Structure 1
Amino acid sequence: MKAGTALRWGSALDSVVMYAQGALCLRLARGSVPPDGRVLVTGLPRSLDPGSLRARVLGTPGVRVTEARVEVEAEPVGAGVPDDVRREVERLREARTRAEAHRDRQLGLIAEVTALRPVPPARKRDDPQHRRTPVEAWLELADFVDERLTGLHARLAELEQAVREAEHALEVAYDREARASTDAPQQHVRTTVGALLTLDGSAEGEVEIEVEYGVPGAVWVPTYRLTHRQGDGSGRLVLRASVAQRTGEDWTGVRLALATADLRRRTDLPRLRSVRIGRRQAAPAPSGWREPPAGLADLFSGFDAAGPAPVSARAAGAVAVAAGGAPPAPVPPPPPPAPQGFGAPAGALPTPGAVPPPSASYGAPMPAPAQPYRPQEPGGRPGAARARTGARAASRAASRAEDMDDMAGAERSAPPVRLPVGPPQPSGDELDYAALVLSGPEEPGGRRGRLFPDAASDPVAVEHRRRAEAVAALPLPGHAVRPRESAGSFDHRFDAAARADIPSDGTWHTVTIGEIPVGLRTEYLAVPSVQQTVYATLVLSNATDQALLAGPVEVTVDDEFLLTTALPTLAPGGVRRVGLGPAEGIRVTRRSQVRESTAGLRNTTTVLDTRVHVELANALARPVTVEVRERVPVTSEPDVRVEERADWTTPEADSGPDRHAPGTRVWRLDLAAGATAALEGGYEIRIPTGKALVGGNRRS
């Protein structure tokens, strides 16, 4: 199909669904169905994936889309198209070149003045000795050189500063050009992409068509803003996204959705194959490919029988003129070949230079072709040296003329292409029947008369897609994590509450998606055996059906910005703890004491008694909940026993907002404003005398 006579419909980008990498765009077009049903929907980007084009009719049951293809057109750009950025780059590049030329010229002047040296007058032949020169002349020359160099170096400093300023301005212009939207057309030619649709059916009035296509060059990472008031059990978590796209079209006023799925993931279902005992016999894979019809090579027997293409009149004239003779008369065309299955008629002479058809051979030797006529000198001798020189010149002229006039003969002399051995394995391009091209008789023997994909790929489209995919190499914001890395085994979608504008400049833009209600409570955590500091934490609980991905979160407490930290992945119903830093209003101290003794009938058991004393002091004006963590030794030896003497509790390994290591013990207590508390704990280790602790200090 060609878009020359198709009715053109304008389209508007309505919605975009961004995936982990890449996006699906949805355009809407409206118009009346033409009599032939061929419509060209314009406005598609240059970097779209042709295999992802989809189209359907909305709200009109009597009309449907039967075919959708990508159509690329080029048109000159008018004078009204804005090109300020490129013009500014060209102007600044010329200004830098001029500044560098002025600087180089100044350096040349400095080199010339620096090379000035006093030269004494040459001694004449009659002079007994060298002529003397006054010292004042030498000093005057030195003063002149110094004064001149001082002025030239001052001017050089100004020119070098001008070069630096020009280079800086040019770098800024280059950065603006790199960050500019790729939706702008090229300098002289605008390439437009459309969807050429074929509609079946008729309808009164206008119909609305939805065109969907995929584009590379779009990435996103989640970010958050958390607002919390002390004492409240809930907070506001605003989900935002850092979005970057370089798809070649500006997303203006689009409904945006973010998905964690992979747009290029595999969707084929697993198939259970049979297990064969004995010689393996692989079943052929089902496909739409069929073997070429039998006797396909016989279709070109007449073309092969015609032999090489005759030399054109211009080439023959060039041969004759180069040889010193007159142009020959036109050569009559060869007689048509005999029909297939019949030999040549009796008494017929073969045409000089002609190749007999394969069907005319029955095993008998064919007569040799007649020798071409060669002029001879009187006496029977061949042509003299002049004739040989003219023949060489004529052959060179003929070869040049044949190269210019007849390229098909050279193509027929190319070696045949070897086809792959084995069962056919057609690709997706070979099964796209609408894009296949029938190879003509000039193609090599293995391709003639068969359908092949059009080899003329669009290098411009490939370059556009390559530039679009470069956006995936952008450096991530602080604490940001790719959606596929943080999503784990689930996929989710987040729909933006309002329409958004995202230019195609390849830089990060922040878009607000929506507000997610979360449960919040403030707790304080202390691990005094590692560090005698109390840390403030926020315990987040996700009671919604939406998952929260890992990413940076800006924490605001009591309308004051506190810090930016990393939010871990929070599945629906999950609970996680987010650290807020040290709490200066709560103090913790820890003291430990280890006593070693022996027990048993013959003192065969070593007893290590460890006592732990922890003190807490709350200097804040509000009550707080503090969790103090300690640890006890963990053993896998049956002879080694650990006996605990404390009121702490043993948390489960994966319970609550944290994942605890084996041997962790927890104290949880509520401290009133200005209150203090003391915690006592300890454990006793009983080790047989024949064994000893390895890999640690038992008196820690």
Structure 2
Amino acid sequence: MTAGTAPRWGSALDSVVVYAQGAVCRRLARGSVPPGGRVRVTGLPRTLDAGSLRVRVTGGKGPRVIEARVDVEAEPLGTTVPDASHSEVERLREECAAARARHDRQVRLIDEVKALRPVPPTRRRDDPHRRTPVDAWLALADFVDERLTRLHSRLAESQEALGRAEHALTVAADRLARASTDAPAAHVRTTVSALVTFDGAGDAEGQAGVEVEYAVPGAIWAPAYRLTHRQGESSGRLVLRASIAQRTGEDWTGVRLALATADLGRRTDLPRLRSLRIGRRQPGPTPSGWREPPSGLADLFAGYDAAGRRPTVTHAAGGAEGRPVPVAVAVAGAPAPPLPPMTMPMPIPMAPQGYDQPLTAAPPGYGAPPPAPMAGSAAPQAFGGGSRFPASSAAMAPPAMPAAPGRAAPPRPPAPAPAGSGPTGQAGPPRPSGSELDYTALVLSGPEEQHARRGRLFPDVPFDPTAAEYRRRAESVAALPLPAHAVRPRESAGSFDHRFDAVARADIPSDGTWHTVTVGEIAVGLRTEYLCVPSVEQTVYATLALSNATGQALLAGPVEVTAGQDFLLTAALPTLAPGGVCRVGLGQAEGVRVTRRTNLHESTSGLRNTTTVLDHRIHVELANRLAEPVTVEVRERVPVSSDADVRIEERADWAPPRTDADAEQHAPGTRVWRVELPAGATTALDGGYEIRIPSAKSLAGGNRRS
């Protein structure tokens, strides 16, 4: 069974995990397994990363997947009605161009009429002076004024028509830009599918189910919250919401959604620590999966070169992603040389038969980049031979090709240097890179290639401009401006990664705009506190002390605070670790008043009045006008001295701030009063401190300071 005749299985998008940039989608498909074992799972987007395709059998029992690769099909659409949005934009663009042409024509007519001037005839030397025809001049002026009046009225109408056409074109273009990209092109239908090959039959009914997983770019998200609380309660409802924008080329309809802060492009392979050895004896190089090319490889194309002409080349499927492999056709009359054993592309990354050593580098997989090529390499290495790595024998160099009739003999390619003779001086067998160990991406070079590439396998990674354009459009969603107070997940998550699963399925179109989705409810502890710093501002502020009682961190983002049914404000919530506490400001509390008065008394003490005593007295009054008791935290400060001769004595019942996570935010010398005020009650707080300094010294700026 060929790829073109493989039965098609329709797939449905089931779940999506949105990462910091990009997403991983999972589709489900089910159908009957044909005798050949090859099926085509359709419905994949054009922007998918071909290297991230993963296929697994669902249900636990059934056939085994032995190969999966991406295949792209395109067919023209001759009778399909074009998209209405594109047609509307084209129609409005033509109308706008016609309106602009009419406007420009009126401007040119006005310029031509303005240029009308009376030109007197040229006077000869012997001609007498003529009388100026005033009536003709006035008639011309009246004609110009009347003509300009009509033209300017038409110009105003054309300007209004042009403005309306440009506005309509702008609206239609914006609607088209915001439209979903999950739609085929106007003239070509592109079908992206996964060619899956099974090893075995389905269940008793011949059915089998698969789960197709792939990564796509063009998806971002940012966290947002909604906090609902009631006065006097110690708990509240914190709803986690996510602002998601995606332009992956497929609409996410009814999908199970999850949000992660991880980076899809981050390396996942661990570094390899090697031992340090002192001395001449060093361990041998790690064996690789490379082997020398078969003997007599160059003789395979002797008849082709002796024919003296280029026959037509047929193509047989077998390359990666359905790309054809060029194979030479034997020329009539030319002897067919015996075929030596050659390495052919294999469907899955496993070591081919005949290898003497096991592989040391795995094929490049999703999430793990391929190993870096060896230093000093210049050209891509053919799998099974090579001009890239030094060889261990001269047998790698192909012999000279016989000359064709009427032509000079082709030049003999230079033989590769023996092992250890290169500039790097590395001995041992070559080490192929990850791309050369990806057997499904290797393509057999035909006779039309260079002599050093004939009959050898090389990685074939052609550039697809259409796929590159799709990916560029998808990745443009990363340039969207973030909502107010929003922070990107990678910046707020720090060095840890978190995942949040939505409680319900969601719909997110592929239009590149922000959509808000409710993820779930988070249990948090709330405590209403009132803070004031009367030495700076005699105003009391209300705050919410929010504690994270879950095992996951709360990422930074905007939070909408609601008290009962009343919306209060939108604030910025910082990143809150599990068990952490932070304050969210609610603004001024009009029901709680504070008043502060200070008094300074200066005196001397000591046997000879050698010490100056600065006695500072502080009086703070609090009044609660609310209908419920409140807890007020009053913050004051005392001087801090680094001079041993200066002594500071406190006379108050205040205390230093609590030694918690917020203690680092307080300046040295901060003192705190915590007062419980019943409803409608008032209280007074008295405190102070004495500064004792030698009489020969004084405070910078004067001793009499508040």
**Normalised by the size of structure 2, how large is the TM-score?**
0.79
Q: Structure 1 residues 596, 274: CA separation in 2 closer, same or farther (over 3 Å shift)? A: farther
Q: Structure 1 residues 247, 592: CA separation in 2 closer, same or farther (over 3 Å shift)? A: same
Contact 1:417 1:445 in 2 (8 A): no
Q: Structure 1 residues 421, 691: CA separation in 2 closer, same or farther (over 3 Å shift)? A: farther
Which residue in 1 is equivalent to 2:56? 56
Which residue in 2 is equivalent to 1:497? 503
SS for the counterpart of 1:148 is helix
Task: Return the offset for 1:428.
Answer: 3.2
Return the letter of the residue paired with 1:217: G
Contact 2:89 2:173 in 1 (8 A): yes
Q: Deviations over 1:38-86 (max 9, x none)?
A: 0110010111111111111111513111111011111223644560111
Return the letter of the residue paired with 1:177: L
Return the letter of the residue paired with 2:105: R
Q: Structure 1 residues 248, 150: CA separation in 2 closer, same or farther (over 3 Å shift)? A: same
Describe how 1:443-454 pairs up with structure 2 within 5 A. 443-454=449-460
Which residue in 2 is equivalent to 1:396? none
Task: Return the offset for 1:452.
Answer: 1.3
Contact 1:338 1:360 in 2 (8 A): no
Return the letter of the residue paired with 1:129: P
Which residue in 2 is equivalent to 1:262? 263
2:660 to 654, 660, 665: 654
Task: Return the offset for 1:143.
Answer: 0.3
Return the letter of the residue paired with 1:108: R
Return the letter of the residue paired with 2:480: L
Which residue in 1 is equivalent to 2:320? none
Which residue in 1 is equivalent to 2:677? 671
Return the letter of the residue paired with 2:160: Q
Q: Structure 1 residues 686, 268: CA separation in 2 closer, same or farther (over 3 Å shift)? A: farther
Task: Return the offset for 1:545.
Answer: 2.5
Is 1:108 the equivalent of 2:80? Answer: no
Which residue in 2 is equivalent to 1:351? none
Q: Structure 1 residues 286, 26: CA separation in 2 closer, same or farther (over 3 Å shift)? A: farther
Q: Deviations over 1:642-683 (max 9, x none)?
A: 332211122234257984343322111111222211111222
Contact 1:576 1:658 in 2 (8 A): no
Return the letter of the residue paired with 1:102: R
SS for the counterpart of 2:140 is helix
Return the letter of the residue paired with 2:214: Y
Which residue in 2 is equivalent to 1:25? 25
Gaps of 5+ in 2: 313-331, 339-397
Describe how 1:221-370 pairs up with structure 2 within 5 A. 221-278=222-279, 284=285, 288=289, 290-293=290-293, 298-299=298-299, 302=302, 306=306
Q: Deviations over 1:251-293 (max 9, x none)?
A: 01101111122222222224332112257968746754x1442
Contact 2:413 2:452 in 1 (8 A): no
Is 1:531 the equivalent of 2:537? Answer: yes
Q: Structure 1 residues 202, 469: CA separation in 2 closer, same or farther (over 3 Å shift)? A: same
Q: Structure 1 residues 639, 199: CA separation in 2 closer, same or farther (over 3 Å shift)? A: farther
Which residue in 2 is equivalent to 1:343? none
SS for the counterpart of 1:517 is strand
Which residue in 2 is equivalent to 1:84? 84
Q: Structure 1 residues 179, 310: CA separation in 2 closer, same or farther (over 3 Å shift)? A: closer
Contact 1:544 1:572 in 2 (8 A): yes
Which residue in 2 is equivalent to 1:163? 162
Q: Structure 1 residues 337, 17: CA separation in 2 closer, same or farther (over 3 Å shift)? A: closer
Contact 2:28 2:209 in 1 (8 A): yes
Q: Provide the rounded CA distance (Å) in 1 between the counterparts of 2:611 and 2:591.
A: 45
Is 1:546 the equivalent of 2:520? Answer: no
Which residue in 2 is equivalent to 1:589? 595
Q: Provide the rounded CA distance (Å) in 2 between the counterparts of 1:103 and 1:472.
A: 40
Superposed CA RMSD in Å reads 3.7
Looking at secondary structure, tell me which structure has more helix per residue: 1
Q: Deviations over 1:365-416 (max 9, x none)?
A: x9xx99x9xxxxxxxxxxxxxxxxxxxxxxxxxxxxxxxxxxxx99x89999
Contact 1:437 1:452 in 2 (8 A): yes
Q: Provide the rounded CA distance (Å) in 2 between the counterparts of 1:414 and 1:525.
A: 88
Contact 2:28 2:210 in 1 (8 A): yes
Comparing 69-78 and 688-697, the one that deviates more: 688-697
Q: Structure 1 residues 557, 84: CA separation in 2 closer, same or farther (over 3 Å shift)? A: same
Return the letter of the residue paired with 1:195: A
Which residue in 2 is equivalent to 1:405? none
Q: Structure 1 residues 470, 639: CA separation in 2 closer, same or farther (over 3 Å shift)? A: farther
Q: Structure 1 residues 647, 335: CA separation in 2 closer, same or farther (over 3 Å shift)? A: closer
Describe how 1:477-488 pairs up with structure 2 within 5 A. 477-488=483-494
Q: Structure 1 residues 418, 478: CA separation in 2 closer, same or farther (over 3 Å shift)? A: farther
Q: Provide the rounded CA distance (Å) in 1 between the counterparts of 2:477 and 2:283.
A: 43
Which residue in 2 is equivalent to 1:211? 212
Task: Return the offset for 1:465.
Answer: 1.5
Task: Return the offset for 1:190.
Answer: 1.7
Contact 2:303 2:334 in 1 (8 A): no
Q: Provide the rounded CA distance (Å) in 2 between the counterparts of 1:421 and 1:73.
A: 46
Q: Structure 1 residues 359, 78: CA separation in 2 closer, same or farther (over 3 Å shift)? A: closer
Contact 2:20 2:488 in 1 (8 A): yes
The total of aligned residue pairs comes to 618
Which residue in 2 is equivalent to 1:631? 637
Which residue in 1 is equivalent to 2:387? none
Which residue in 1 is equivalent to 2:192? 193
SS for the counterpart of 1:103 is helix
Q: Deviations over 1:400-435 (max 9, x none)?
A: xxxxxxxxx99x899999999656564432221111
Task: Return the offset for 1:692.
Answer: 6.2
Q: Name the larger-Rg structure.
A: 1
Q: Provide the rounded CA distance (Å) in 1 between the counterparts of 2:415 and 2:460.
A: 17
SS for the counterpart of 2:539 is strand
Q: Structure 1 residues 280, 499: CA separation in 2 closer, same or farther (over 3 Å shift)? A: farther
Which residue in 2 is equivalent to 1:320? none
Contact 1:122 1:130 in 2 (8 A): no
Which residue in 1 is equivalent to 2:143? 144
Q: Provide the rounded CA distance (Å) in 1 between the counterparts of 2:296 and 2:600.
A: 96
Return the letter of the residue paired with 1:277: I
Return the letter of the residue paired with 1:490: F
Which residue in 1 is equivalent to 2:10? 10
Q: Provide the rounded CA distance (Å) in 1 between the counterparts of 2:45 and 2:146.
A: 64
**Normalised by the size of structure 1, how large is the TM-score?**
0.80
SS for the counterpart of 1:68 is strand
Q: Provide the rounded CA distance (Å) in 2 between the counterparts of 1:311 and 1:550.
A: 67
Which residue in 2 is equivalent to 1:514? 520
Q: Provide the rounded CA distance (Å) in 1 between the counterparts of 2:524 and 2:399.
A: 84
Task: Return the offset for 1:593.
Answer: 3.4
SS for the counterpart of 2:34 is coil
Which residue in 1 is equivalent to 2:119? 119
Q: Deviations over 1:485-512 (max 9, x none)?
A: 2222332221111111100111000101
Return the letter of the residue paired with 1:527: V
Q: Deviations over 1:412-466 (max 9, x none)?
A: 8999999996565644322211110122343334433332111422221122122
Q: Structure 1 residues 615, 13: CA separation in 2 closer, same or farther (over 3 Å shift)? A: same
Q: Provide the rounded CA distance (Å) in 1 between the counterparts of 2:621 and 2:38.
A: 83
Return the letter of the residue paired with 1:7: P
Return the letter of the residue paired with 1:274: S
Q: Structure 1 residues 414, 180: CA separation in 2 closer, same or farther (over 3 Å shift)? A: farther
2:481 to 465, 475, 492: 475
Q: Provide the rounded CA distance (Å) in 2 between the counterparts of 1:686 and 1:334.
A: 117
